[in-house]
Amino acid sequence: MGIPRTAHFSPWNLLLTAVLLLGAVVAHAADDQGYQALRDWIAAGNPADDGLPAGQHLGAKDRGELEAYIPRTAWTYYFFDDMDMEIAAHGHYPPPDTWGKTVKPGYSLDERGVLKGFTGGGYPFPEVTADDPMVAQKVIWNMLWRPGQNDFDMPMVTWLRGEGGKLDRKMEYISVTANYAKGDECLVPGYEEVKSKRIMEFRSPRDMAGAKDMSVSFVDHDREDSGWLYMPAQRKPRRTLASERTSELMGMDMIREDLDGFGGKVHENNWTYLGTRNVVATINVADNPEFGGPNQWVPNKARWEIRKAHVLLIEPKSKDHPYSHRVVFIDAENFWTLWMFAFDKEDDQLLRMSQHFMKYTESYVNEKPQQAPYMTLDTDKNLGQKVLMHLGETDINAKKPHATMTHCYTNKRVFSSARARQYYSLRNMISGRR
């Protein structure tokens, strides 16, 4: 009775095992989703802003070129066998002609980095310089007051998917927002303290249909938003709390503070400016992108371009906050958030990330995006607005793992003062779909 053949020691087996182990280590390192790996990737040097061939489609075989432009933390999701990234030439997306002309002077940052006295109409800090000790806060203020973030009807469809693309839930809802603070004037005279108002209503599935939320945000950053939630089962609005921003929203893979990359309070965080970095972004997609990859979590067959982005490191001061670090990439020309990565306080590994898809209104001349599956909008209204519009995003929870993908069918809407006063009122919240 001899030793079983499979137990024979062989130098070839040893070599094969070593190669396999090495491969696993290399793959693991490549997909490192830790905070330090992202910092290393940022510090590795800024790739050229023309380093990818415009007009061509790049795929998995081009990963070597793309790795310099896709934040390392996202590689796991954005590189896959049949990936198709159309690379467009670097675009220029100027703001509305009146942008910056109605800004009321006299505003400032206080010692906490909180913007005081600003009422919109333009960027609060059109020029930002890396040597400014408050540059990170100034970039985020520009993001929070960017053009195009309000004044639209936005029907949306959201898919919540697990691994393998398993669809857990699909939701339809509509958000309608209006910008009140327009610089030297307010949309509705008498409401000068209001920054913007939003009403969002769920349409499906039926267990959420008719749920309606009205949110009022204020120009004073220290003042929490006011909110009311109408639930059809209760047939009355209920006051909501705004200061809890770290719980997942409606089963989605995001928290309120993740909205637009950063939706929290500036003074509740420490800020560090990490410089600028060229990254690829879906800054002006042709249409709401389809989702691809093994999990259908990320945009595929979409149009990308290289964008110069401000990179901000945001560290929550609260010991109870789920994030240790948040790194946000904000477009240097128009201050829209392109990528956001948030790391788990427990282990500094990726907890959540998001990536956004935008479309410039003037491209609607040649490219009409798809209509919402449940309503028809006149997208011709978008022409001439000269703003980027949000066409969706993907939000991934790396720890579950699970993702939420959203298509927004955004259409500009100009509210009259009278209409805004009527629409965004508590009166409109006391009854709903049923």
Partner 1 sequence: MTFRRHGLPAALALLAALPFTSEAIVTINDDLELEGFLQAQNILRTPRMDDAEFVMQRNTAQIEGKYYFLKDSTAFGRFNTGKLEEATFSFVGRGVYDSIYDARPSYHDAFPGNQSLPGEFEGKVREAYVDLILPPFSLRLGKQQVVWGETDNFRALDVINPLDLSWHWSWESWEDIRIPLWMARGVYDIGKIGKLEESFFELVYIPWDVRHNIISTDPRRPWAFTGVGLAENPNSVFVGSQLKNLDLNVIDGSPGRKLENGQAGFRFKAVWGDVDFSVNYFYGFSADARGVLQNQFTRLDPTTLHVAYKTKYPRSHVLGFTANYSEEKYTQAVFRLETTFTTGVPVTVAPGAPLSVDPEQDQFETARRSVIMLAADRPTWIKWLNPDRTIFLSSQIFWRRWLDISHSYRGIGGVFPAELNGVVQPGRFISTNEDRIDQDEVVMTFSASTSYGDAGLLQPRFVFAFDPRSTGAYNQLSVDYLLSSHVVLRFQQNLFWRITGHKPGPWQLGDIWGHSGGNSRHESVFTFIYQF
**Segment interacting with partner 1 (CB under 8 A) among 14-22, 334-342, 367-375, 384-392:** 367-375
Measured from the CB atom, the residue of 242 and 259 that comes closer to partner 1 is: 242
Q: Does 206 bind partner 1 (CB under 8 A)?
A: yes
203 binds partner 1 (CB under 8 A): yes
Residue 374 CB, nearest approach to partner 1 (Å): 5
Q: Is residue 226 close enough to count as binding partner 1 by CB under 8 A?
A: yes
Burial 322-337 (b: 16+ CB within 10 A, else e): bbbbbbbbbbbbbbbb
Task: Count residues near partner 1 (CB under 8 A).
Answer: 55
Residue 349 binds partner 1 (CB under 8 A): no
Binds partner 1 by CB under 8 A, chosen from 9, 207, 319, 366 = 207
Q: Closer to partner 1 by CB, 123 or 415: give it.
A: 415
**In this structure, are residues 139 and 154 in contact, taking their beta carbons and an 8 Å threshold?**
no
The reply on whether position 251 binds partner 1 by CB under 8 A is yes
Could you give the C-alpha distances from 187 to 100, 101, 190, in angstroms and in order? 16, 16, 9
Secondary structure (H, E, C), 169-208: EEEEEEEEEEECECCCCECCCCCCCEEEEEEEEEEECCCC
Figure out which of the listed residues 20, 27, 130, 430 binds partner 1, where binding follows CB under 8 A.
430
Interface mask toward partner 1 for 112-151; x: CB under 8 A: ----------------------------------------
CB-wise, 28 or 427, nearer to partner 1? 427
Minimum distance, C-beta of residue 342 to partner 1, in the bound complex (Å): 14
Q: Which helix (H) or strand (E) holds 24?
A: helix 11-30
The residues pairing with 327 across neighbouring beta strands, listed in sequence order, are: 313, 341
Question: Any long-range contacts for 216-223 (C-beta under 8 Å, 24+ apart)?
Answer: 216/424, 218/193, 218/194, 219/118, 219/119, 219/120, 219/181, 219/192, 219/193, 219/194, 219/195, 220/116, 220/193, 221/114, 221/115, 221/116, 221/265, 221/266, 221/267, 222/114, 222/267, 223/193
Of 182-201, which residues contact partner 1 (CB under 8 A)?
A: 190-191
Q: For residues 134 and 209, which CB has a smaller minimum distance to partner 1 in the complex?
A: 209
Torsion of the alpha carbons at 369, 157, 294 and 90, rounded to the nearest 10: 40
**What residue ranges bind partner 1 (CB under 8 A)?**
160, 162, 168-170, 172, 190-191, 203-207, 209, 224, 226-228, 232-236, 238-244, 246-248, 250-252, 320, 373-376, 397, 400, 402, 418-419, 421-422, 425-427, 430-431, 433-434
